[in-house]
Amino acid sequence: MRDESIFDLDELNEECGVFGIIGHADAAQLTYYGLHALQHRGQESAGIVTTDGQKFSVQRGTGLVTEVFNNNNIKQLLGSTGIGHVRYSTTGGTGLANAQPLVFKYAKGELAIATKGNLVNAKKLRRDLEELGSIFQTTTDTEVIAHLIARSSAPNIVEAAKEALNQLVGAYALMIMTNDTLIVAEDPHGLRPLSMAKMGEATVFSSETCAFDVIGAEFVRDIEPGEMLVFDAEGMRTTTFAPKAERAICSFEHVYFARPDSNVGGVNVHAARKRMGRILAEEAPVEADVVTGVPDSSTSAAIGFAEATGIPYELGLIKNRYVGRTFIQPSQELREQGVKMKLSAVRGVVAGKRVVMVDDSIVRGTTSRRIVTMLREAGATEVHVRISSPPVKNPCFYGIDTPDREQLIAAQKTVEEIRQEIGADTLTFISVEGMLRAIGRPASERNRGHCIACFTGEYPTVLEDELVLEGKR
Amino acid sequence: MRDESIFDLDELNEECGVFGIIGHADAAQLTYYGLHALQHRGQESAGIVTTDGQKFSVQRGTGLVTEVFNNNNIKQLLGSTGIGHVRYSTTGGTGLANAQPLVFKYAKGELAIATKGNLVNAKKLRRDLEELGSIFQTTTDTEVIAHLIARSSAPNIVEAAKEALNQLVGAYALMIMTNDTLIVAEDPHGLRPLSMAKMGEATVFSSETCAFDVIGAEFVRDIEPGEMLVFDAEGMRTTTFAPKAERAICSFEHVYFARPDSNVGGVNVHAARKRMGRILAEEAPVEADVVTGVPDSSTSAAIGFAEATGIPYELGLIKNRYVGRTFIQPSQELREQGVKMKLSAVRGVVAGKRVVMVDDSIVRGTTSRRIVTMLREAGATEVHVRISSPPVKNPCFYGIDTPDREQLIAAQKTVEEIRQEIGADTLTFISVEGMLRAIGRPASERNRGHCIACFTGEYPTVLEDELVLEGKR
Amino acid sequence: MRDESIFDLDELNEECGVFGIIGHADAAQLTYYGLHALQHRGQESAGIVTTDGQKFSVQRGTGLVTEVFNNNNIKQLLGSTGIGHVRYSTTGGTGLANAQPLVFKYAKGELAIATKGNLVNAKKLRRDLEELGSIFQTTTDTEVIAHLIARSSAPNIVEAAKEALNQLVGAYALMIMTNDTLIVAEDPHGLRPLSMAKMGEATVFSSETCAFDVIGAEFVRDIEPGEMLVFDAEGMRTTTFAPKAERAICSFEHVYFARPDSNVGGVNVHAARKRMGRILAEEAPVEADVVTGVPDSSTSAAIGFAEATGIPYELGLIKNRYVGRTFIQPSQELREQGVKMKLSAVRGVVAGKRVVMVDDSIVRGTTSRRIVTMLREAGATEVHVRISSPPVKNPCFYGIDTPDREQLIAAQKTVEEIRQEIGADTLTFISVEGMLRAIGRPASERNRGHCIACFTGEYPTVLEDELVLEGKR
Amino acid sequence: MRDESIFDLDELNEECGVFGIIGHADAAQLTYYGLHALQHRGQESAGIVTTDGQKFSVQRGTGLVTEVFNNNNIKQLLGSTGIGHVRYSTTGGTGLANAQPLVFKYAKGELAIATKGNLVNAKKLRRDLEELGSIFQTTTDTEVIAHLIARSSAPNIVEAAKEALNQLVGAYALMIMTNDTLIVAEDPHGLRPLSMAKMGEATVFSSETCAFDVIGAEFVRDIEPGEMLVFDAEGMRTTTFAPKAERAICSFEHVYFARPDSNVGGVNVHAARKRMGRILAEEAPVEADVVTGVPDSSTSAAIGFAEATGIPYELGLIKNRYVGRTFIQPSQELREQGVKMKLSAVRGVVAGKRVVMVDDSIVRGTTSRRIVTMLREAGATEVHVRISSPPVKNPCFYGIDTPDREQLIAAQKTVEEIRQEIGADTLTFISVEGMLRAIGRPASERNRGHCIACFTGEYPTVLEDELVLEGKR
């Protein structure tokens, strides 16, 4: 679980969480609890749109779910169907304008759309639409989808949505709501997971299963790649809007993004992380006195590593949970005197000890270097770094906010060079096979079921906008 | 580490954290980081008072440290000496008026006082003072101390403080600041720990060592029971204001209050908690499939229990960190449908499993019952509860917010009755000896060095106000 | 000058103020001061968009100008050209989404538009656009204009704007900004005034001249009906996008909307209002002891009435300026006991007196009745009401928020019936001729230069949407 | 009526307004409306304390009345008796700590005190109390009074209050509340007026009568100098705690402080100001084209001047009402380019005209110079300044925030020198006799009934603290 990063620019961030509900008298409030459980996926803005069958109610704002909604405005969200969204901002600028779900009026009435993920042909689609005279008020892919629907000549929202989805290339989980229909769909590769649950008579959707436990809903199944579910007056029906490709769930869900209590692709995240720690211990054993994880995302892997090696797991690094947007930053001078912010090393635990530090990934390498330095300053005699993901050598085009290849340290340097750069005594990354085995894939099925493009460069889709940029289209 | 309790009224809470610094150009900002590290000890209000040798600068407010202070107001806190305070409210009403440090003008100039802990003769002292014509604007013990100092006929602040402290009975760590003197003192039993560190030329005090790691200060030693340190133009000197009684650190510091990265009485808190888990495993082994802790305070003990038994440690209970003051509460109806708030059970982890749930304490029993129910509803086939503190049978009069004896379930029921009440398959509390051993005391020194009054009823001081209440004085 | 109406639902409200500047290094901050001077025209939201020639900077928000902007965000508005907007909400619902200037991306780049006024064919244009596949995210006319521009096949923004404007019917003053061009235009009847000033090398536009005095800019001239001014790399040029109709400035600008220090159509508003009071005194003299105005808009007319009659002007009614959004409303019970809010009668001034109360208009009649009652309860022996506008019998379709004809008391009742309804001893409205004479039109030019449709029903344009509603198109 | 001064440091400011009510079920809410009507007397903080006969409810905060109170916290103020306070800060620093009413616990129970005015022996009383061991947490005179009451050996609150009041020297209106008694008193010279009204069965007190009109209460009488009213179980009784000196109401109440709709000493403030304008016109006629007042306090005098001379009254100066705490200040450069803030001259009204500018007072002279300059820059050919108070030559020690004598321009310069300094063509101050006549005193009773010390230096009381400062005691 992450909060607003202040210490650390060296994190991967994924954009957004979505939640939907149909058929419950408390649709808005349950969506609120659902979004609250998904808060770790986006803290920039939050929004809920509901319908009572006649008209929409809308509430969106910048900030945390608890900041955007209150007892008053939640009551004004009427109706038994609703969709919600929490957003992490990659660009930072536009704030509220991009807060989802977006709401549109078009020839056939009102339309609300919430998406998570990223299209790899959004730029091309925008350009085509602009040439037809379309105007854009946001920088979201969601607005592109709305234009495609509005311009469709299909007779109804379901056909129009199908037509639109077939033009999209990329990773997405999305919900489209009108006053009489709710459509839920996932991209043909199933890169961005979306799950369904039941809560009494109501049906619930969430981009992560942790939201189901919070509201007491019972998991039913994951949405299939290329599947489109429709809820309208005639009830629910499922359809496939695109030829189903092989599923390729983002493997960073298990490594880092998802809450440890979620199941992704049927596999509990905490358990998978513990197995990553165990496999790291097998792949790269080391003599040491204590194991510590970088909180919070690496705690599970560190426990797994400790269990497998018998080296005690201790809290050698601690994170201050109260760091927030309003935190007063230390000056350079105070930093040099040793003032930490978000993360600090625990002298009483690491002084005089050989420390294994387990982390989930190395992106630019800057954070790892700072943590290693911090551990040494607190008295660690050796620092052995174990990373529960393989080296990230390629940018993600499916919604993860990775830096350019030039800034990805593993794209530029060997593991030994990275070790020197971050100042560790030893450094090992888990192997791709090890990671997949930890998640639950047999070694023989390498790259089956999971997207591992950021490690291997084998992207599951054509990267249309990128080809254009590179002059290949 | 705790945040504002919403789910759970069944927690123990301790009042306040204090931090002080002398001799650093950035006194205010370092106090800010120190208080920030102590935030888990009090979220109701925060305050800093500094002196530049001529006059005080004051900033206090309700809310979190990050809410009370900002880049502007921190800059207005001038000078190289400062004291700070975070407050947890037991009563709730008075808010800002009780925010510390309190600041007074008296015949000899300005006076700032920050205290943590609780006097057991405060009521008597107040009554005596009121009879002499004193007026009170707060309900804090701190104001009592200020009156005692102001009414003293001693020639200087040091003697006046000594005179005042000698009238106090109870548990406290306190800091008294004038424009030329800083006094730091601890009660004769050392119930409320206070530690000293160096940061370059500066000296730093904190009620918990975790604040030192954050600012890069180096731990020097704990303040002794009955010790009074004075900093003035002549430098630092130490003195004993009262005959030194046997130290009796609150044992709940290790069990629950302190941050796991702090050392209390020289013992790392996380390590002590892990040992509590191990000892619990020895004292009450059980066949089970998973061990889970009640986050966050019981995580360390649960890991210790898992290590000792070989039963895997999993995240069977999860806490939403974003719960805050503005959280929208679910209605009774939604609660009955299964909507949780702060804490939820992870179905994917516990369904079909025999679960060991480790918690730090049982106060009223209501929370434990809810958690056991939650685990069963999520599919646990057995729930074995292990508590890393002995049964709490007596209220604390030294600053911990315990309920009356009538509401303390362990004061009213046997362990077997409690087991039935909370619905567990088995229930064991750690023994007093086991707990002390985990903290680091040999069994033969029972009750030496730690206050265990809430378990045994043997209070280290006379309880003056209580005797009055009971008509004995 | 008005603030948020709480007491009084019985006011006319006009939508919005616009301000623009080109060629000044402090474009954003000057726009801020300009909007601040126009604050009385809209308190719901405020926004500024600037361009540095390469890209837009945008800041919009709900609330007052001083709430939306601060030292930080104003600095981020880069460039020497900017347009700004304050909005009064007629509908209330949509809040931020409708905050102007709106910003769009379209095939030719970025586009910012700020408009004030109202189109009478907006519904038709929307319907046509939706049928072509357009989507709408706001309920503003501004978005309609953006669509028309984006769909134009004209080669450049100037021609596209011209094409778009030629499709609009209604009252408007607007500014269209791209990264290299600023276009300023006014509807062919000049219903919504827009003035131009110089400030050193910079050119400034404002919907009211009061903004010029505040920033020290020198008035140059009013924009002509149907005129379009273009600023681009080649400098400024003027053109006429539509055959110039006879100017028809809204006469309520002088009666009520504009700040008394503004000049509208070259005539100082305070002076015109004083003349209205004088003419009322001629048209309907009365014996009385004191004259009082309904603050703030009727103060000038009341002074004029007092000057002409020699009856002393006194403050018989007072308005509390601190009433705001957060004001606690009195219960019905407290109202009945006499608790007033925004407006109260001054007993010491009116008790035992014959009072002339001058007000600017009667819309529904409810406010007038309350004020008359209030004056009588404060002891007035007679209350003579003099209204400085003629009876409002027809709704406005050009941007004034008038109620339906059914609720316009003067459309339903005679003056004598209104007098009875509001409980006045006598009641007189100024004549249309008298009002126009006060503004400065000779009697022979009735209806020349000013729109008096709300009094006479003679609308200067076809009312397209209305015809559709009534089934005539 | 004033708001937070930004443009103008050259204003006199008076500290505080008080309001009390006894015997009304909606005591808190009516106090809220009362304080709201007194908002012009203090914008720094506001507070209400009520009692239900058993215990106090307290709400205080910094900011406007509408910011401190809301629907939630007003409901928590229980009981039918309450006192309230709005505070203007002279020093600025201490903020909330000084927010009144102050609340104390002392030997006899709870005590709430609200005062307005200023003691001239406060320093001496503090010093004496500190020597007896008293501590002070605020810098208010109110806390001094609480100490005196608490230290009194008198048998009850009424006698204790009398004893305390007899030690005070200075100007004050105060309310003292316990759970069973409300005491209302005014200093022996009646410098700070306090009035009483009835509202049904309830009795209401206010430092200005405008609060009565707002809540529909009926004025009964002013409290007499040296009078003390007591409300307790036996009903109301009046007593005199000190030999009644001659009344000496602050004459600046009529000149400047009070709201124009208030009656002070039975005289309507707006009417008195108009008479000041008339008398100025008699004392210093001038040929001119327009008369304008400096808004808002000088509007009435300007109207009076215009009426008397026949020169038309116009709005030549305008004030932006929306200026607030968050206003973005123009840079020096923008100021030089002509950007104004709070006040601007109306070119359309003054250009080419001979202007009479009426203002209420000249303190340092800086504001007057700026306004004269502003009028000339807007084209005024002559500027004649008329001041509706005599030259202020002496500081006030009774609660008005005047600068030191060195900064009072009229204490340092002749009228002719001031005229040159501010750049006016002519300058006249009203005579002391003229001012008193305008207020309603016959010329023969000079200095009877009103304090004119700031004009003449004849202070109605001994200035104890000043004598000490000057070494005379």
Helix/strand/coil (H/E/C) assignment for every residue in chain C: CCCCCCCCCCCCCECCEEEEEECCCCHHHHHHHHHHHCHHHCCCEEEEEEECCCCEEEEEEECCHHHHCCHHHHHCCCCCEEEEEEECCCCCCCHHHHCCCEEEEECCEEEEEEEEEEECCHHHHHHHHHHCCCCECCCCHHHHHHHHHHHCCCCCHHHHHHHHHCCCCEEEEEEEECCCCEEEEECCCCCCCCEEEEECCEEEEECCCHHHHHHCCEEEEECCCCEEEEEECCEEEEEECCCCCCCEEECHHHHHHCCCCCEECCEEHHHHHHHHHHHHHHHCCCCCCEEEECCCCCHHHHHHHHHHHCCCECCCEEECCCCCCCCCCCCHHHHHCCCCCCEEECHHHHCCCEEEEEECCCCCCHHHHHHHHHHHHCCCCEEEEEECCCCCCCCCCCCECCCCHHHCHHHHCCHHHHHHHHCCCEEEECCHHHHHHHHCCCHHHCCCEEECHHHHCCCCCCCHHHHHHCCCC
* A330·B29 Cβ contact <8 A: yes
Active site residues of B: 16
The answer to whether chain A touches chain C by having 3 or more C-beta pairs less than 8 angstroms apart is yes
> C139 near C126, Cβ under 8 Å?
no
Active site residues of A: 16
CA pair distance A401, A90, nearest whole angstrom: 6
Size of interface C-D (CB pairs under 8 A): 191
Chain B contact residues (CB < 8 Å to D): 58, 96-97, 102-107, 111, 130-131, 133-137, 146-147, 150-152
Q: Which of A150-164, A341-355, A406-420 has the lowest mean pLDDT?
A: A341-355
pLDDT-above-90 percentage for chain C: 73
**What subunits touch chain B, counting only 3 or more CB pairs under 8 A?**
A, D
Region B422-431: mean pLDDT is: 98
Suggest the residue from A94, A102, A134 to mutate for an interface test with chain C (most C CBs closer than 10 A).
A134
Above 0.90 for ipTM, yes or no? no
Model confidence at B5: pLDDT above 80:
no
Residue C187, preceding peptide bond in cis (omega within 30° of 0):
no
Residue C128 marked ligand-binding: no
Mean pLDDT, chain C, integer? 90
**Closest alpha carbon to D99 in D131, D62, D129:** D62
Model confidence at B472: pLDDT above 70:
no
Known binding positions of D:
250, 297, 359-360, 396, 451, 454
* D104·B130 Cβ contact <8 A: no
Model confidence at D245: pLDDT above 90:
no
Quick one: pLDDT at residue D400? 83
The answer to whether chain D touches chain A by having 3 or more C-beta pairs less than 8 angstroms apart is no
* D328·C29 Cβ contact <8 A: yes
Model confidence at D54: pLDDT above 90:
yes
Of the two residues B443 and C302, the one the predictor is more confident about is C302
Model confidence at D257: pLDDT above 50:
yes
| pLDDT tens, position by position, A224-250 | 999 999 999 999 999 999 887 788 999
* A130·C107 Cβ contact <8 A: yes
In D, which residues are within 8 Å of C209 by CB distance?
348
| pLDDT tens, position by position, C193-232 | 999 999 999 999 999 999 998 898 999 999 999 999 999 9
Known binding positions of D for [4Fe-4S] cluster:
250, 396, 451, 454
Model confidence at D93: pLDDT above 80:
no
Which among D94, D102, D135 has CB closest to B150? Answer: D135
Suggest the residue from D45, D113, D135 to mutate for an interface test with chain B (most B CBs closer than 10 A).
D135
If you count them, how many residues does chain A have? 473
Q: Which fold has domain B17-245?
A: Glutamine Phosphoribosylpyrophosphate, subunit 1, domain 1 (3.60.20)
In B, which residues are within 8 Å of D96 by CB distance?
96
Quick one: pLDDT at residue A12? 61
Model confidence at D4: pLDDT above 50:
no
Active site residues of D: 16
Which among B96, B130, B150 has CB closest to D133? Answer: B150
Which chain A residue has its CA at the smallest distance from C136's CA?
A105
CA pair distance B307, B356, nearest whole angstrom: 13
| pLDDT tens, position by position, C129-158 | 999 999 999 989 999 999 999 999 999 999
Model confidence at A447: pLDDT above 80:
no
Size of interface B-D (CB pairs under 8 A): 62
| pLDDT tens, position by position, A15-44 | 699 999 999 999 999 999 999 999 989 888
Region D395-410: mean pLDDT is: 88
Domains of chain A, by residue range, sit at 17-245, 262-456
Model confidence at A93: pLDDT above 60:
no
Known binding positions of A for [4Fe-4S] cluster:
250, 396, 451, 454
Which chain D residue has its CA at the smallest distance from B146's CA?
D135
| pLDDT tens, position by position, B27-37 | 999 999 999 99
Model confidence at B269: pLDDT above 80:
yes
Helix (H, G, I), strand (E, B) or coil at A248: strand
CA pair distance B465, C46, nearest whole angstrom: 60
The CATH code of domain A262-456 reads 3.40.50.2020
Which chain C residue has its CA at the smallest distance from D259's CA?
C318
* B315·A326 Cβ contact <8 A: no
- Could you count the other beta carbons within 10 Å of the beta carbon of residue A26? 22
Which among B107, B137, B152 has CB closest to D130? Answer: B107
Give the architecture-level CATH label for domain B269-444: 3-Layer(aba) Sandwich (3.40)
Which among C111, C131, C150 has CB closest to A133? Answer: C150
Quick one: pLDDT at residue D444? 61
Gap from B333 CA to chain D (nearest CA, Å)? 25
In A, which residues are within 8 Å of B378 by CB distance?
213
Buried b (16+ CB within 10 A) or exposed e, D253-288: bbbbbbbbbbbbbebbbbbbbbbbbbbbbeebbbeb
Which among B130, B131, B151 has CB closest to D133? Answer: B151
Which among B97, B131, B146 has CB closest to D135? Answer: B146
Same fold, A17-245 and A262-456: no
Q: Which fold has domain D253-456?
A: Rossmann fold (3.40.50)
* D215·C322 Cβ contact <8 A: no
Q: Which fold has domain C268-456?
A: Rossmann fold (3.40.50)
In C, which residues are within 8 Å of D315 by CB distance?
260-261, 270, 300
Known binding positions of D for Mg(2+):
297, 359-360
DSSP element (H, E) containing D33: helix D27-37
* B135·D96 Cβ contact <8 A: no
Chain C contact residues (CB < 8 Å to A): 96, 102-107, 111, 130-137, 146-147, 150-152
Suggest the residue from B38, B209, B214, B297 to mutate for an interface test with chain A (most A CBs closer than 10 A).
B214
* A151·C136 Cβ contact <8 A: no
Quick one: pLDDT at residue A5? 32
Quick one: pLDDT at residue B321? 67
Which among D94, D126, D150 has CB closest to B135? Answer: D150
Which chain B residue has its CA at the smallest distance from A259's CA?
B318
Gap from D36 CA to chain C (nearest CA, Å)? 7
Region B133-158: mean pLDDT is: 95
If you count them, how many residues does chain C have? 473
Mean pLDDT, chain A, integer? 90
Gap from C308 CA to chain A (nearest CA, Å)? 53
Helix (H, G, I), strand (E, B) or coil at D349: helix
Q: The whole model's pTM is what?
A: 0.88
Region B167-196: mean pLDDT is: 96
